[in-house]
Structure 1
Amino acid sequence: MRAVPGQQVPPEVDGATVPATLPGCVHTDLLAAGLIPDPYLDDNETALAWIGRTDWVYETTFDRPPGDHARLDLVCAGLDTVATITLNGVEVGRTENMHRGHRFGVGSLFRAEGNHLVVRFDSAYRYAEAQRDRLGDRPNAYPEPFQFIRKMACNFGWDWGPTLVTAGIWQEIALHGWSVARLAVVRPLVTVDGDTGRVEVHVDVERAVDRPLTVRAQVAGQRAEVTVPPGQRSTVVALTVHRPELWWPRGYGAPHRHELTVTLHDADGGPLDEWHRRIGFRSVRLDTTPDEHGAPFTLYVNEVPVFVRGVNWIPDDVFPTRVTRPRLAHRFDQAEAANVNLLRVWGGGRYESTDFYDLADERGLLVQQDFLFACAAYPEEEPFATEVAAEATEQVIRLAPHPSLVLWTGNNENIWGWHDWDWQAPLAGRSWGRGYYLDLLPRIVAALDPTRPYWPGSPWSGSEEIHPNDPAYGTTHIWDVWNTDDYVKYREYLPRFVAEFGYQGPPAYATLRRALSDEPLAHDSPGMAHHQKAADGDRKLRRGLDAHLPEPRDFDDWHWLTQLNQARAIALGVEHFRSHRGRCMGTIVWQLNDCWPVTSWAAIDGDGRRKPLWYALRRSYADRLLTVQPRDGGLALVAVNDDGLPWRASATVTRLTLAGEPKAKSILELEVPAYETVTLALAAELARPDDARDELLVAETDDPAERAWWFFAEDRDVRWPTAAFDATVQPTEGGQQVRVTARTILRDVTLFPDRLDPSAEVDTALVTLLPGEAATFTVRSAAPLDPTALTTRPVLRCVNDLPVRAPA
């Protein structure tokens, strides 16, 4: 790989030939060669902006592969993005879409030896800016031309991501030799009706000669075959399976899968080609039938309504080839451990990998896949209309076999943007994407994959006659909470389905120390400021702290409290929405993951570390949730049961002082059917404190995981005692156990062992203890940690280890 000569590039790059790793990209190859610094550290991102404005060439020389093939094709699974391909000096083709593959017949160009393949990538910026100038500018959320090129939009920067505009051969490139015919497309459509499963395998063949062919298919012990006569290029093989083992989402049953094999044979029965996938028998539909509250958005799998406990997924790395299957599996482990059942693949990234979908299938994780349009008005003129149609066709076919995929979504926030973000005047009648979302994409999905629902946008109300972000209809995004309002405002919403809502917090301390050279670290030090991409992000974090928590004395306090406030905000929102299960049937938190070290809305930071938000999400998304909620001027205990078995328990609700002295107590019997919610009003003697600054409410069952708290005043105003506790540290296999025994109330005890060892992590966090209670934290680390450091500030924290300020 090398830069095209004659451009303004650093001297060490000018004229340098760099070994290219495929799949890969320019950035990763330059980094491996030691020619650029790590773009994720400090402000290196800015110094590397020239890469996206440079033209690059990949080239290789090879001999003709052995074998007597009638056809030789060059198969490019993914080129990023504006590419010209030449073989032995002859132009083979040009591409301008990162999100689709290409196949070129090149057999006539081959020599026996020394074939020279060149792939030139022109600057994505130059292409996008030229299209913008030709078609007329259109509004978007950021001052970058990302909607004028079919490329991963977040390469151009986002409010959580760096501006690192990539180029390169980002998916496999190969030669394919074949004769007679090949399987060009295999598209299985799987349906379930009662006890009967059906697979319709739609097959397209490409022919080198025109003679009869046979297509055979088998699944779950059933076999079928059809003959494809000369001149015919497509067929359907149908298989029926009686009482198949069904694929279920996690929490509802086992995700059974079945091997589907499709083979292509010559007239004499000789094998020509084969295709294998593991499919799942399941049905999926959306219920959006209007009711007295508006219109619901309820996902049914196998005719069972599923409450979605979701997270939004962004690309896990700016450079996709670094996202390996083991890395994805670890991220899925983290999602599952947080009781997540759905991942929404956001529309500013990519159509996720086969590994991503295979892991989701295997684990029973539901997936919602956006088509790739986000936060912008997109042109519908050529070449974009043709490219979008080809891209969508390819991706719908590619993902059709995966049972985890349950919903296609047309775009992220673009219909909302057209309504509310002052787009209409500057557009002046120009196209903005409506034709994609309401015409082209639904037609493609209906034609190629009618087994899955399509929803035009996120958010979307179900009709152009209703505001796209009306909470009473369809899906909604809630962003006033982060941008302008306190997070208690979540309780003012009674939405049908919340597809996005989030609150920021910084990454783990070890992540910051790896990524930033700031000395000392401060919330506004240069590196921290550069790795905060949200508009007025620091000010919004401070607004949240001022509303709820004590005054931070230093960076350590700021870091702890902003992470805590993020966890509190999302827990409040999730528990409020889940407490209205039935009217609201899903929440998708923004966001699970990060693509680099950054202050963001993620629960897992850019180095893969769990933030306090992750621990809060694990509790708030638990199958069985006990939560105290305001209702009708008082308080209620709400028991949410997303388990397949009834929940029967006695709940003790106590109003007590911070010193642990009971003021009132009641025992409530819980009888919660599977997948339902029960709300029990609390008596006035429980719901009304004598002194709001000195009292709290706790509700608990025999299961310590089923414990709910209600504080009558904000932490900044509570008359907290100075934190007092005893802590012991004992070795355990793979780490240490820290046992904390409270001598006073301890609010949200949390350990940050990564401050001592970047590899260290703890099993639980945000544990509130009454006087006399104890909790054990298990810390895993590469080596034993110093017991004193492990049990003192800034590693061991709670809210009341900060001074209390005067009441607001």
Structure 2
Amino acid sequence: MSSYRPLHDGWTVTAVSSTGQLRPVVAGLPASVPGCVHTDLLAAGLIEDPYLDDNEEGLTWIGRTAWAYETTFTWEPGATGGDGAGDDRADLVCAGLDTVATLVLNGVEIGRTANMHRSYRFPVRHLLQAGDNTLRILFDPPYGYAEAQKAALGDRPGAYDEPYQFIRKMACNFGWDWGPTLVTAGIWRPIGIETWSAARLAEVRPLVSGDGTVEVHVTVERAAERPLTLTATAGGVSETVTVAAGARRAVVTLTVPDPDLWWPRGYGEQPLYDLTVRLEDGGPEQEWSGRIGFRSVELDRTGDAFTIVVNGRPVFMKGFNWIPDDCFPSRITRERLAERFAQAAGAGANCLRVWGGGMYESDDFYNLADEMGLLVWQDFPFACAAYPEEGPFAAEVEAEARENVARLTRHPSLVLWCGNNENIEGHADWRWQEKLEGRGWGGGFYYDLLPRIVAELDPARPYWPGSPYSGSPDLPPNDPSRGTLHIWTVWNTHDYRHYATYTPRFVAEFGFQGPPTYATLRAAVSDDPLTPSSPGVVHHQKAVDGDLKLLRGLGDHLPRPDGFDDWHYFTQLNQARAMAFGIERFRALAPYCMGTIVWQLNDCWPVTSWAAVDGGGRRKPLWHALRRAFADRLLTFQGDAPAAGMGMGMVLAMVNDTDEAWSGELAVERLSLAGEILAKERFDVSVAARGTASADLPEAVARSGNPAGEVLVATLGDARALWFPREDPAMAYPPAEMDTVVEETEGGLRVTVTARTLVRELAIFPDRLDPRATVDDQLVTLLPGETAVFHVSGGSPDPGALVRHPVLRCVNESR
């Protein structure tokens, strides 16, 4: 009953008009679809790579220019098996237009768009002609549209002096404190012509329950009013209903007996079932297919808690906030997403929060999350600003929400819809109300429109109005004792030890900055020499006073950097320590606290930021620290040590995020820095499955007369925790001495390091020698006599240089 022809070939792009400056002549330039103006100009060599140096600053004219995309395609109506097969109707289907566009087919305007976050469909059968047809899409300047809406509706406060809240486009296009200002335009998702007759499947919305029930809600569009047959099949079970003549909606319900349940990563397997839906009217059938998983999900709010419950089991959410992985989303492939997801899972995460300043992600994103068991918290795309509810916006928001909620209902990985990022907090705490003077700010979306749409289309999945949020509009939104919390005091004003003052229910966002890997920074910045304050390095730091905060954040934790190499190592190490400190604190509070979501997993370009994986796709030292902090079984020293008492007043927390009890002999030793045992205690402990426990430190090991010269070591099975009672500059570390052996292996190089003294936070940075080289571990502390083995893969780094400064680093190194 239908056929689809993509229209991705033969496009050109032309700059029509501009209010910007520095515009090169662009006329009839070959264009890639899907794509955007920036990538087309880059491919043609008309602009420099915006990710390099400060090239971004010379490209603001692109967002102030009108662009015309045009293609010519042939059409043969009525050709059997060709374009016109079953062509009673023909629709131009636009999966994504960015953003304000006028579409013209053969000289006739067929429609206008103003929303990047939704698709559009235009009937065009009456305009198609045999032979050549010309399709032209004119994109208005995003800045012009947004500024016109701002002038018409009145200004609204936001975190940045950009008009991103006045256009339904991903907000971070306009720059963020980790991203460049690259305001795009173009056909960013597939476009094509669908022909059909009698009827087509307009929407398929499966509602899947953990008991095996699948309610398939179907909407059909009709060209004829005769009865239709609708069949749904999953798990070997099929059910058929008749769609009466003229009816446009139907529900097919089927039950798969004893289905295998879908579980989050770390809680079980992720079985998926193929669901097919067929629509027939006596001629060729039309089919929709997708994969589903059987599970239940609830949000437990008992006693102001915030706990995601899957299949009746509370889940401690360990994960990352997710931003668009590229400023130009058409470049984000399934393979690239799979690499990022593997990096998230490899760090021990079980969830990703799709942040509200980005977009509804691609089908590949949610399919991968289903396959890998990564829970998805999905923000609606509103972030850090007051949004207008009047003008064209309410209708656009409703359209995009309805489409995307319906699109994503089938995915078992999606466990929460969230109305916005930080807008409720902004309205309550950022002095927005006096600036608004009674104008709308988005509250009608978060408290009314969006929850109504979720309740109607996806009733079994929880909705939360925003984050941070305490559960009621009348409560302070960022109250640690209720709902979700964002912690930015640490990065902005406080030392990272301040995390210990929080006792939260769920931390949905917190982070600490560090620079990208050397190879990523060096590839993006041509400064010679490369220094912390050289122009390119400074340009790739978007946070206000970011470099000052990096240095201030070192506090008394680490020595003052002497040159670029020290700055790079110490600030990366400090980022890793800060986040590990916070995560261990919050995990030790379980089940009172049931989530810790780090800001952020990824970057969209090379930049100094909060990410664990940088803009080149490389893992920063932070990633390795998170892998330990997110470990299924964690030992961590918690509490404040008195100045003269080493570990007095501290406890040893044991976190068991597995389905088996964690039992064994807990060993706690007080050692001199030379490795001499000064005191030790051993006792049997048992931590319940998915539980936490704590042990007070015995006085014999906790009390010390020489805090600067001793270390506490706790072990339980394979888990180990270290506690140094003074910050590194105040410790009496010996100069590091170690023996190193580098050997070739089938997969690269094996580096064996044996410590002759204590070696603090040992790291190898092979990308300094070859940008293709990676290492499997970082920031390892060795006690005297201990050995660590590192595996270096990729590229051809010099084996000898791997074990020399500045590639091999530790805090107490001697040079």
Which TM-score applies when normalising by structure 2?
0.96
Query: 1:145 Cα shift?
Result: 0.3
Contact 1:368 1:407 in 2 (8 A): yes
Query: 1:243 Cα shift?
Result: 1.2
Out of 421, 429, 432, which is 1:420 matched to? 429
What is the rounded CA distance, in whole Å, between the counterparts of 2:222 and 2:192 in structure 1?
A: 20
Matched, 1:162 2:180: yes
Within a 5 Å distance, the mapping from 1:183-332 to structure 2 comes to 183-192=201-210, 196-266=211-281, 268=282, 270-290=283-303, 295-332=304-341
What is the rounded CA distance, in whole Å, between the counterparts of 1:16 and 1:789 in structure 2?
A: 51
Query: 1:662 Cα shift?
Result: 1.6
What is the rounded CA distance, in whole Å, between the counterparts of 1:802 and 1:44 in structure 2?
A: 40
1:799 counterpart SS class: coil
Matched, 1:24 2:42: no
Query: 1:20 Cα shift?
Result: 1.1
1:327 counterpart SS class: helix
Contact 1:689 1:712 in 2 (8 A): no
Out of 136, 146, 153, which is 1:128 matched to? 146
Within a 5 Å distance, the mapping from 1:348-363 to structure 2 comes to 348-363=357-372
What is the rounded CA distance, in whole Å, between the counterparts of 2:343 and 2:676 in structure 1?
A: 38
Return the letter of the residue paired with 2:689: A
What is the rounded CA distance, in whole Å, between the counterparts of 2:576 and 2:640 in structure 1?
A: 23
Contact 1:343 1:366 in 2 (8 A): yes
1:321 counterpart SS class: helix
Report the counterpart of residue 801 of structure 1 in structure 2. 813
Contact 1:639 1:670 in 2 (8 A): no
Query: 1:465 Cα shift?
Result: 2.2
Out of 332, 335, 340, which is 2:344 matched to? 335
What is the rounded CA distance, in whole Å, between the counterparts of 1:757 and 1:396 in structure 2?
A: 45
Contact 1:550 1:802 in 2 (8 A): no
What is the rounded CA distance, in whole Å, between the counterparts of 1:289 and 1:84 in structure 2?
A: 50
Out of 174, 197, 222, which is 2:192 matched to? 174
Matched, 1:789 2:801: yes
Out of 679, 698, 716, which is 1:683 matched to? 698
Out of 30, 51, 58, which is 1:40 matched to? 51
Out of 750, 757, 765, which is 1:744 matched to? 757
Return the letter of the residue paired with 1:685: A
Query: 1:722 Cα shift?
Result: 1.1
What is the rounded CA distance, in whole Å, between the counterparts of 1:546 and 1:641 in structure 2?
A: 32
Within a 5 Å distance, the mapping from 1:454-603 to structure 2 comes to 454-603=463-612
Return the letter of the residue paired with 1:613: L
Report the counterpart of residue 150 of structure 1 in structure 2. 168
Query: 1:273 Cα shift?
Result: 1.1
What is the rounded CA distance, in whole Å, between the counterparts of 1:326 and 1:6 in structure 2?
A: 37
What is the rounded CA distance, in whole Å, between the counterparts of 2:717 and 2:293 in structure 1?
A: 38
Query: 1:579 Cα shift?
Result: 0.6
1:548 counterpart SS class: coil
Report the counterpart of residue 13 of structure 1 in structure 2. 24
Report the counterpart of residue 650 of structure 1 in structure 2. 665
CA deviation profile, 1:760-791 (whole Å, cap 9, x unmatched)? 010111110011111111111222x2222100
Return the letter of the residue paired with 1:521: L
Out of 86, 102, 114, which is 2:120 matched to? 102
Query: 1:15 Cα shift?
Result: 4.3
Out of 717, 732, 742, which is 1:729 matched to? 742
Return the letter of the residue paired with 2:217: H
Query: 1:188 Cα shift?
Result: 0.5
Contact 2:319 2:344 in 1 (8 A): no
Return the letter of the residue paired with 2:237: Q
CA deviation profile, 1:437-481 (whole Å, cap 9, x unmatched)? 000000000000001000000111001221110000000000001
What is the rounded CA distance, in whole Å, between the counterparts of 2:16 and 2:259 in structure 1?
A: 61
Contact 2:17 2:65 in 1 (8 A): no
Report the counterpart of residue 392 of structure 1 in structure 2. 401
Out of 705, 713, 727, which is 1:698 matched to? 713
What is the rounded CA distance, in whole Å, between the counterparts of 2:45 and 2:640 in structure 1?
A: 61
Gaps of 5+ in 2: 1-11, 76-82, 642-647
1:393 counterpart SS class: helix
Contact 2:765 2:808 in 1 (8 A): yes
CA deviation profile, 1:668-709 (whole Å, cap 9, x unmatched)? 322112111111111122223211211111111342xx1101
What is the rounded CA distance, in whole Å, between the counterparts of 1:85 and 1:789 in structure 2?
A: 59
1:577 counterpart SS class: helix
1:572 counterpart SS class: helix
Report the counterpart of residue 806 of structure 1 in structure 2. none
What is the rounded CA distance, in whole Å, between the counterparts of 1:394 and 1:15 in structure 2?
A: 35
2:256 counterpart SS class: strand
Q: How many residues align?
A: 791
Report the counterpart of residue 623 of structure 2 in structure 1. 614
1:159 counterpart SS class: coil
Contact 2:14 2:29 in 1 (8 A): no
Report the counterpart of residue 661 of structure 1 in structure 2. 676
Contact 1:564 1:612 in 2 (8 A): yes
Report the counterpart of residue 766 of structure 1 in structure 2. 779
| Worse-matched range after superposition: 409-418 or 680-689 | 680-689
Report the counterpart of residue 80 of structure 2 in structure 1. none
CA deviation profile, 1:708-756 (whole Å, cap 9, x unmatched)? 0111001121111111111110111121111111111001101000000
What is the rounded CA distance, in whole Å, between the counterparts of 1:574 and 1:360 in structure 2?
A: 23
Out of 621, 636, 639, which is 1:627 matched to? 636
2:40 counterpart SS class: helix
Report the counterpart of residue 8 of structure 2 in structure 1. none
Return the letter of the residue paired with 1:240: T
Return the letter of the residue paired with 1:248: W
Return the letter of the residue paired with 1:85: L
What is the rounded CA distance, in whole Å, between the counterparts of 2:302 and 2:315 in structure 1?
A: 16
Query: 1:553 Cα shift?
Result: 1.2
Contact 1:263 1:271 in 2 (8 A): no
Gaps of 5+ in 1: 804-808
Query: 1:100 Cα shift?
Result: 0.3
Query: 1:381 Cα shift?
Result: 0.3
Contact 1:5 1:14 in 2 (8 A): no
What is the rounded CA distance, in whole Å, between the counterparts of 2:800 and 2:277 in structure 1?
A: 63
1:716 counterpart SS class: helix
Return the letter of the residue paired with 2:696: A
Query: 1:657 Cα shift?
Result: 1.3
What is the rounded CA distance, in whole Å, between the counterparts of 1:693 and 1:557 in structure 2?
A: 23
Contact 2:20 2:60 in 1 (8 A): no
Return the letter of the residue paired with 2:602: N
Report the counterpart of residue 60 of structure 2 in structure 1. 49
1:48 counterpart SS class: helix
Structure 1 pair 131–10 and aligned structure 2 pair: CA distance change class (3 A): closer
CA deviation profile, 1:74-97 (whole Å, cap 9, x unmatched)? 000110000000000000000000
